[in-house]
Amino acid sequence: MTPQVRSTPELPLVVKMRTRGLSVFYGEKQAVHEVDLEVGVNQVLALIGPSGCGKSTFLRSLNRMNDTVDGVRVLGEVDLDGRPIYGPDVDPVVVRRHVGMVFQRSNPFPKSIFDNVAYGLRIAGMRDKAELALRVEKALRHAALWDEVKDRLFESGLGLSGGQQQRLCIARALAVEPEVLLMDEPASALDPIATARLEDLISELRAELTIVIVTHNMQQAARVSQRTAFFYMGKLVEVGETQRMFTRPKEQATEDYISGRFG
């Protein structure tokens, strides 16, 4: 079943993250089956597939968020820049500072906009106020939120609109300058205008970091990603350049899913 990823002529891939034989179990139930996948640097990789196909679970194992859930077991290897993040002496807290995450529902802290963005910097030990202010501004600009909030940095982040809140969460994740950003259906709770802005933002961010995004929206995957991986029943069915995946999928299952015949 493992697809022949490298057999088709594709552009050479500079690998940022790589999984080998990655399996994830919830207790006895296996949610992800021996996935081999590479994430190219400065690319957006879209993970698609029907609900419950294991793509979100897979995503969460890329920054060891699965460790925070009771009863989850991860087998196989995940490398970041060639270094195993599940190694025995690896601190998952440090991994998460390099691999940031944005969730399906925006979840700003009940703090001011400024404190939300500064959170990751402060817990990493940054005390210098001037530097904090600079980094917060930079992250907010990056997340295309600065102009909308610069006059109310010290009001609660929960007072923002849904789309703004999601961009605030992105700014919060960007502030610690991660190398990889994982996004779990970041636009699923947003209206079409906010979604469009978010997609633009993702395309801009690609210049500076590597992004893995889970989405249910085929058009979105097609618009923002360079590569797409199709998951089905916990297995990686096919992965390749997005354009090719959407025009000439190799597997029948991929074609059925993309064309809306199931899922």
The distance of closest approach from Cβ of residue 217 to another protein in the complex, given in angstroms and rounded to an integer, is 22
Give whichever of 25 and 119 is closer to another protein, judged by the CB atom: 119
Residues forming contacts to another protein in the complex (CB under 8 A) are 63, 65, 68, 93-94, 96-97, 100-101, 103, 105, 107-111, 119-120, 122-124, 155-160, 169, 172-173, 176
The distance of closest approach from Cβ of residue 31 to another protein in the complex, given in angstroms and rounded to an integer, is 18
Question: How many other β-carbons are positioned within 10 Å of the β-carbon of residue 28?
Answer: 7
The distance of closest approach from Cβ of residue 89 to another protein in the complex, given in angstroms and rounded to an integer, is 17
- Strand runs labelled E in the chain: 15-26, 29-40, 44-48, 72-80, 83-84, 99-102, 180-184, 210-214, 227-232, 235-241
Which amino acid is located at 183 in the chain? M
Longest dimension (CA), the chain: 56
Distances (CA, A) of 100 to 49, 144, 256: 22, 18, 32
The distance of closest approach from Cβ of residue 113 to another protein in the complex, given in angstroms and rounded to an integer, is 10
Give whichever of 26 and 103 is closer to another protein, judged by the CB atom: 103
Give whichever of 123 and 134 is closer to another protein, judged by the CB atom: 123
Give whichever of 53 and 173 is closer to another protein, judged by the CB atom: 173
H or E segment at 221?
helix 218-224
The distance of closest approach from Cβ of residue 81 to another protein in the complex, given in angstroms and rounded to an integer, is 17
Give whichever of 45 and 173 is closer to another protein, judged by the CB atom: 173
